[in-house]
Amino acid sequence: MSRWNVADVMTMGAVSVQADTPFKEIVDLMEAHEVNAVPVVDEFDRVVGVVSSADLLTKIEFAGDDDRVRLFESRHTRQARGKAHATAAGELMSAPVVTVMGTTSLPAAARIMESAGLKRLPVVDDLGRLIGMVTRRDLLKVFLRSDEEIRREIENEALDGLVGVERSQVRVEVDDGVVTLLGEVERSSVIPSVIRQIERVDGVVDVVSHLSASADDEPQGFRAPVMF
């Protein structure tokens, strides 16, 4: 069963800057390309950091502020105040930077973004060179797959190789990404594995199972003896 990866949804050839790119030029690039962040690359196009609009906004947030360290001030606030005096990308960027490769699966990319609290990731090749950018919005493109495309993949690929299941036993209906499974399989124990397999198909929003089984081979739960 084929799976979408980052290369299928990313923006190729992302705009980038170098460490010595001036502050105003970064703002101009973001405005011209309608992006909220740009990777910072070295002379070999390897990603060394990222400058986001949040990094640039420190110039407004701390305008006219003094440099005295406040009591109980967080490390994050101290770093942000330091960026308020920055004039080039190398001083503004967040580093080290989290990146992904084009072969990274969409679920893996989504987990990375969530765990790191990021809205976008630079995409690099095996040498760490920038080849594109992927955002949370890009990851959602997988749900633009048509119902017919999803149904064909389920029938022709997803159901193959499932022990105890014949494709002729399962009827598949897809409506707005919601998959409904109908039919009768031989054993009830295979139904959960069928559902999990269908849930892994790219673009599936939910799976509703109306599958039945000719034989109930699910293990019965242990029932504790009643004490009198």
Q: Dump pLDDT digits (tens) for 170-208.
A: 999 999 999 999 999 999 999 999 999 999 999 999 999
Topology of domain 6-142 in CATH is CBS-domain (3.10.580)
CA distances (Å), origin 30, targets 27, 61, 121, 154: 5, 19, 16, 41
Q: pLDDT value at position 2?
A: 64
Closest CA to 219 of 194, 183, 187, 171: 187
Note the CATH architecture for domain 145-215.
Answer: 2-Layer Sandwich (3.30)
Task: Name the residue ranges covered by the structural domains of the chain.
Answer: 6-142, 145-215
Specify the pairing of strand 178-187 against strand 11-12. unpaired
3-class state of residue 29 by DSSP: helix
Q: Could you read off the pLDDT of 37-95 as tens digits, one per residue?
A: 999 999 999 999 999 999 999 888 877 666 665 666 667 666 777 788 899 999 999 99
Q: Is the pTM of this model over 0.75?
A: yes
Q: pLDDT value at position 132?
A: 96
Range in 21-25, 56-60, 100-104 with the lowest mean pLDDT: 56-60
User: Are 29 and 17 within 8 A, CB to CB?
Assistant: yes
